Amino acid sequence: MVLDRLDITWIALIGLAMATVLVPSVVIRPLLANALLLTFAALKGRRIVLDFLDLRAAPALWRDLVSAWVLIVVLFAWLASAIVALI
């Protein structure tokens, strides 16, 4: 059985989802846990964008713009959680 790119992405997404469930019980510091969870979210978002939305074959400009959008959303979420944790 040969795995194609979508199968590998699917397995990676399942692994990242399982890691997301495990992080809150393993990591004690909230800011670190939030950063780790949002890193997993960014990785999942990038894999979905590249493989399931098929932007891997798109021009580099579109790929970079959508990847930057995913990163900006994750950074804003982390910033909001950091502000809440520091207040």
Indicate whether 78 pLDDT > 90: no
For the stretch 20-62, pLDDT in tens is 999 988 988 888 888 899 999 999 999 999 999 989 899 999 9
Q: Rounded to two decimals, what is the model's pTM?
A: 0.85
Tens of pLDDT along 61-74?
Answer: 999 999 999 999 99
* Planar angle of CA 76, 67, 7, nearest 5 degrees: 120
Per-residue pLDDT, 69:
95
5-41 residues labelled b (16+ CB within 10 A) or e (exposed): eeeebeeebeeeeeebeebeeeeeeeeebbbbbbbbb
